[in-house]
């Protein structure tokens, strides 16, 4: 089930739909890196080549595969 949330990226408000597990993973990584979920999403957005949701999913996959 998708959960839709609004986030601010570069002073621009946007909606983002992700599954609960992805939101949980973003929160865990943000806590680990001592930043907000919005800051983490902003950093992912800086290097994206596809949609934001897809870029986040790929980022999370790569993050957890490195362990």
pLDDT, tens only, 36-60 = 999 999 999 998 999 999 999 999 9
What is the sign, positive or negative, of the torsion defined by CA atoms of 42, 15, 28, 20?
A: negative
Q: What is the pTM of this model?
A: 0.90
Q: How much of the chain exceeds pLDDT 70, in percent?
A: 99
Q: What is the pLDDT of residue 23?
A: 98
pLDDT at residue 15 tops 90: yes
Q: State yes or no: pLDDT of 18 exceeds 70.
A: yes
Contact 36, 43 (CB under 8 A): no
Environment class of residue 6 by beta-carbon count within 10 Å: exposed (0-12), middle (13-18) or buried (19+)? Answer: exposed
Q: Domain map of the chain by residue range?
A: 2-65
pLDDT at 67 over 70: no
């Amino acid at each position: 089930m998708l959960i839709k949330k609004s986030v601010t990226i570069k002073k621009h408000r946007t909606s983002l739909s992700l599954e609960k597990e992805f939101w949980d993973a973003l929160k865990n990584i943000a806590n680990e890196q001592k930043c907000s979920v919005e800051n983490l999403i902003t950093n992912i957005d800086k290097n994206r080549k596809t949609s934001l949701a897809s870029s986040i999913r790929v980022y999370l996959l790569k993050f957890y595969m490195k362990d």
